[in-house]
Amino acid sequence: EDLRVDGRGCEDYRCIEVETDVVSNTSGSARVKLGHTDILVGVKAEMGTPKLENPNEGYLEFFVDCSANATPEFEGRGGEELGTEIVNTLYRIFSTENTIDVKSLCINPREHCWILYVDVLLLECGGNLFDAISIAVKAALFNTRIPKVRVLEDEEGSKEIELSDDPYDCIRLNVDNVPCIITLSKIGCRHVVDATLQEEACSLASLLLAVTNRGFLTCMKKMGNGSLDPESIFEMMETGKRVGKTLHTSLQKILDKEESLGTTRQKVGFLG
């Protein structure tokens, strides 16, 4: 009957708060609050050598830190397993072509390229981590400003890289094709989007879908100990695609609105 414990429907998200540019010494950052889940993502752009198999492209490196503040289970090394799982999921999503234009990250083929180090920090764990992390990563990549560099060639052939003097002269990434993760948890015979901690404890199996802004599914992963009926998987996929499209439009609207506010935006940060 479409009524959950907190009054939401099966396809409703909790209120999401997004803020970008919260960490000043990164190339891009974003903080996302989804109910009680709090995620901070920082992106740093560094120069390095391209990978051997893709000499004309830059690449992304992910790292997830489950802070001990999030839940007591993350104390010591408890959060490492969850962290590696999240990192592997992120790598898988971003390994599909065209999510990020990695060719634009290349400076000199085979010699220099931009490497984007994406660091995810879990500040508070309130259910539905993967969705919040994917929203935060998308927002942080949208906020990333990579300085423009020029390659100067000497007579001997050695190349010099010159950074432009203007600190505001930078290239931005196109995040239109970056997918968002939608987690669908199966509780009883219905499935719900955006499960809270209590709902996650009741669900035996959940499906992780990576959905792009046009509603295409790029990646799918099943989590949990329970089993899923093939028909219910089909229904969940349809729900995920629908919800994903809505999420992308809302997120993009807010990111554009934040961008348009520019310097007049009142920064809330962590002490607001």
Partner 1 sequence: MAAIEVRLPVARKLAGQSQARGSDKHLVAPGDTITTDTGYMRGHGTYMGDEKLIASVAGAVERVNKLICVKALKTRYNGEVGDIVVGRITEVQQKRWKVETNARLDSVLLLSSMNLPGGELRRRSAEDELAMRDYLQEGDLISAEVQAVFSDGAVSLHTRSLKYGKLGQGVLVQVSPSLVKRQKTHFHDLPCGASVILGNNGFIWIYPTPEQKDEEAGGFVTNLEPVPLHDREVISRLRNCILALVAQKLMLYDTSIVYCYEASLPHQIKDILKPEVMQEIVLETRQRLLELEG
Question: What is the contact surface with partner 1 in residues (CB under 8 A)?
Answer: 1, 3-9, 11-19, 33, 193, 242-243, 246-247, 250-251, 253-254, 257-258, 265-266, 268, 272
Cα–Cα distance, 270 to 258 (Å, whole number): 17
Kindly list the distances between the CA atom of residue 38 and the CA atoms of 120, 151, 263, in Å, as whole numbers in the listed order.
Answer: 11, 40, 25
Q: For residue 148, give every residue at least 6 positions away whose Cβ sits within 8 Å of its Cβ, in sequence order, or none.
A: 163, 164, 169, 170, 171
- The count of other CB atoms within 10 Å of the CB of residue 40 is 22
Both structure tokens of 2: 């479409």
In angstroms, give the least distance from the CB of 47 to partner 1.
33
In angstroms, give the least distance from the CB of 30 to partner 1.
12
Cβ-defined contacts of 266-271 (< 8 Å, 24+): 267/19, 267/21, 267/22, 268/19, 269/19, 269/22, 270/22
When the beta carbons of 6 and 75 are compared against partner 1, the nearer one is 6
Alpha helices in 96-174 (DSSP H): 129-143
Q: For residue 93, give every residue at least 6 positions away whose Cβ sits within 8 Å of its Cβ, in sequence order, or none.
A: 99, 134, 179, 181, 210, 218, 219
In angstroms, give the least distance from the CB of 12 to partner 1.
6
In angstroms, give the least distance from the CB of 22 to partner 1.
10
State the chain's maximal CA–CA distance in angstroms: 75
Both structure tokens of 11: 């396809």
In angstroms, give the least distance from the CB of 65 to partner 1.
22
Beta bridge partners, 28, equal 43
Measured N-to-C along each axis, helices 230-261 and 129-143 cross at an angle, to the nearest 10 degrees, of 30
In angstroms, give the least distance from the CB of 126 to partner 1.
12
In angstroms, give the least distance from the CB of 45 to partner 1.
25
